Chain A
Amino acid sequence: MKIQCNGKDTIIDEGVSIEKLLLELALNPDTVVVECNERIILREDYGSHILVEGDELELIRFVGGG
């Protein structure tokens, strides 16, 4: 199925959670702020939030250092 990820069409499997998608993208979920259809997703919901066709995701990834 197709979703939008940071403005790009992205094909993912059905039933994939936000947590799983982030891990597949080789991102540490703890370092990413996720907006799904203009709503910020709480960290504790990454595992249970299953993506569906047409979802619009914005991922803001952080790197360490300050």
Chain B
Amino acid sequence: MMLQVNEQPYRFQPGVRALDLAAEIKPDADVFIVNGFPVGAETILADGDCCWLIRKGERPAADEMERLLYARHTPGVHARIKSSFVGIMGLGGLGSVVAVSLARIGIGRLLLADFDVVEPSNLNRQQYLVSQVGMRKVDALKENLAQINPYLDVSSINVVLTEQSIPEIFRDVDVLAECFDSAEMKAAALRCALTRMSGKGFVGVSGVAGYEENDLITTRKIRSGVYLVGDGETAAGPGQGLMAPRVGIAANCQANQILRILLGKA
């Protein structure tokens, strides 16, 4: 019978177990993935099974890493998102989380924009570390994304974005994520998307503060390819801070909507 092992075809006798496969192909493997799911070493394999043998903690070569990273993706999805380019405006509680999600799924190109440095008050929700306090957010986030997925093309710009500069800076992206903190810039960004960036995907956010109900956060279609996530109401302010869980819900709604746009579902 035939098996696919780390993307290569192999012929084996029926009844072969995952550990037999490993003994022959990758003796130090200690994780066995069959058809996208982890299995025990004693698992008996069937004709046509797609197997991955992994050594925990070992960093594979770039091409193998890519296959391993995306072993759980729906077939065909990876090629599409690998060739995609997403811009992220603002790298706070929304932008840093969107960037991590998109890096994990292997969005091929990211352009990160922010003007700020990492402060202690950011750490309650943003994807930075204590050791990065004082660093520019663009540099700290690039560093963290490289630890998650080193095989992406991540560029950054340390700048205060304006309604005038957004269309030029992000002219080549497929989808733009609006992750600003200020309501004024959120409005300005949507206006840009609707007047000067038609044809590009856009996902913005409004209303993510506090710990209101999860399900008040919705994803609303403004027009084809243009969406707003959030409850539309809950502003950040005294007595209603921004916290990791609810901002994170919105950020991942945003990331999923970006993915849907890239995959032609929106």
State the Cβ distance, B35 to closest chain A Cβ, in Å.
39
In which size bucket is the chain B interface? 20 to 34
Q: List 16 A-B contacts (CB under 8 A).
A: A33-B191, A40-B195, A42-B195, A43-B163, A60-B190, A61-B206, A62-B183, A62-B186, A62-B187, A63-B235, A63-B236, A64-B182, A65-B209, A66-B90, A66-B92, A66-B236
Partner of A60 from the list B90, B93, B182, B228 (CB cut-off 8 Å) is B228
Q: Which of B81-115 contact A (CB under 8 A)?
A: 90, 92-95
Interface string of A3-35 (1 = CB under 8 A from B): 000000000000000000000000010111101
- When C-beta atoms are compared, the residue in chain A nearest to B186 turns out to be A62
* Given A33-B191, A42-B195, A43-B163: A63 and B232 interface contact (C-beta under 8 Å): yes
Interface of A is mostly: mixed
Count contacts on A: residues with CB < 8 A to the other chain.
16
* Given A63-B232, A63-B233, A64-B235: A28 and B190 interface contact (C-beta under 8 Å): no
Interface string of B177-221 (1 = CB under 8 A from A): 001111110111011001100000000011111000000000000
Alpha-carbon distance A60/B194, docked complex (angstroms) = 12
Do residues A65 and B236 form an inter-chain contact, with CB atoms below 8 A? yes
Using CB atoms and an 8 Å cutoff, list the residues of chain A in contact with chain B: 28, 30-33, 35, 40, 42-43, 60-66
- When C-beta atoms are compared, the residue in chain A nearest to B210 turns out to be A65
- When C-beta atoms are compared, the residue in chain A nearest to B230 turns out to be A63
State the Cβ distance, A2 to closest chain B Cβ, in Å.
25
* Given A32-B187, A43-B191: A65 and B207 interface contact (C-beta under 8 Å): yes
Do residues A31 and B187 form an inter-chain contact, with CB atoms below 8 A? yes
Residues of B near A28 (CB, < 8 A) are: 183-184
Do residues A66 and B207 form an inter-chain contact, with CB atoms below 8 A? no
Alpha-carbon distance A60/B188, docked complex (angstroms) = 11
Alpha-carbon distance A16/B237, docked complex (angstroms) = 31
Interface string of B215-256 (1 = CB under 8 A from A): 000000010000010001111110000100001000000000
Residues of B near A31 (CB, < 8 A) are: 183-184, 186-187
Interface string of B11-27 (1 = CB under 8 A from A): 00000000000000000
Residues of A near B94 (CB, < 8 A) are: 66
Residues of A near B232 (CB, < 8 A) are: 61, 63
Residues of A near B207 (CB, < 8 A) are: 63, 65
State the Cβ distance, B228 to closest chain A Cβ, in Å.
7
